[in-house]
Amino acid sequence: MLTDRQCKVLKLIVEKYIKDPIPVGSKTISKTLKCSSATVRNEMSALEEAGLLEKTHTSSGRVPSEEGYRYYVDNLMEPKKMTGEDMLKLQTVFHNQQLALSDVIVKSLQVISDMTNYTTVVLGSTSHENLLKQIEVIPIDDVSIIVIVITDKGHVEHKNIRLQDVSLDEVKKTVNLINNLIAGTPIDEVSAKLEYEVKPIIGKYVKQHEQLYNAFYHVFSDFTNQEVNIVGKNKFLSQPEFSNIEKIRTVFNKLESPELIHSIEEDDDNNIKVYIGSESKIDDDVTVIKTRFKNGNQEGTLAIIGPKRMEYDRVVSFLEYMKENIER
């Protein structure tokens, strides 16, 4: 258990280091705390002993360790209320009556990315939550048609497919069958249902059924599992801890890998969760802060991704604000 003063020292160090990423010395802290630098040094080595602080070399100042940030976030951080200016910017987005909720969310996370200089992510509902609402087909020319897939949550995707010697009539028959038989099915089960429920029927009644079946099968199996919206990846380029290209490359690759991004929502806790450093699974110097939201049939995940040395208090208050405003 930390003493009161140790908490103060840790908090000061974390906050100082977040402002300015250079190791913090005892002298700096002693100025704010009413005691000598020697006393601070003693507290510091106790905190280091406890694994909350680290030195970059034997005679350097201290830097928060992963556990140090953790302790700060869990116990020391005070909620920071948003500035009027920040609030105002977001409110103008939220009060745009014409935009659908999903657009409002994406737009405001763009704004947040610019305000904070961190990367933001919006994940929509997952494919097992999205039910097939209907499909539409538009003929483009003799050989190609566009298939549009719409889910109950309003997720739309389209695909241009090529067919040889298939009459529009037969396409329409198939479309009607699909709409009648498997609308309402979770998107990720559609491919299977197509095989067991639709294939046998079109096999009997539709010419060129092989080709049509294959085409639609691909439309659904290629259906993106989830709407993923990442904004401001380039913000990492202005963070000092990502000044080397290698690091940037690994982070960018991770941010583009669907698995990684989906792992963000693995834990479906509804509160705001903070994943620090290695917990982020992206890079030891990266922190992910996320929350889930739900409004009617719209649900999903918001995340803000930045350096471990992140303005935790500010980011948390942004996410709280977003969650609150989305949910009513």
Question: Structure tokens of 319?
Answer: 């996410």
Tokens of 310: 């992140």
Measured at the alpha carbon of residue 281, what is the angle toward residues 276 and 287, in degrees to the nearest 5?
30
Q: Scan for tokens 């549009």, then name that residue.
A: 148
Which one of 27, 81, 128, 294 is in contact with DNA (CB under 7 A)? 27
Contact (Cβ atoms closer than 8 angstroms) between residue 11 and residue 47: no
Query: In this chain, which stretch among 5-13, 16-24, 40-48, 245-253 interacts with a copy of itself, using CB under 8 A?
Result: 245-253
Question: Per CB under 7 A, does 39 bind DNA?
Answer: yes
Nearest CB to DNA, comparing residues 42 and 325: 42
Q: How far is CA 85 from CA 8, 90, 97, 115, in A?
A: 29, 9, 21, 10
Contact flags string 204-243 toward a copy of itself, x per CB under 8 A: ----------xx--x---------------x--xx---xx
By CB under 7 A, tell whether 160 contacts DNA. no
Q: DSSP for 171-232, please give it.
A: HHHHHHHHHHHHTTSBHHHHHHHIIIIIHHHHHHH-TTHHHHHHHHHHHHHTS-SS-EEEE-
Among 16, 25, 182, 304, binds DNA (CB under 7 A): 25
**First-to-final CA distance of the chain:** 40
The footprint of a copy of itself on residues 141-160 (CB under 8 A) is: 141, 144, 146, 148, 150, 152-154, 156, 158-160
Site residues, a copy of itself (CB under 8 A): 97-103, 133-134, 136, 138, 140-141, 144, 146, 148, 150, 152-154, 156, 158-162, 164, 214-215, 218, 234, 237-238, 242-243, 245, 248-249, 252-253, 256, 296-297
Site residues, DNA (CB under 7 A): 5, 23, 25-28, 35-39, 41-42, 44-45, 48, 55-62
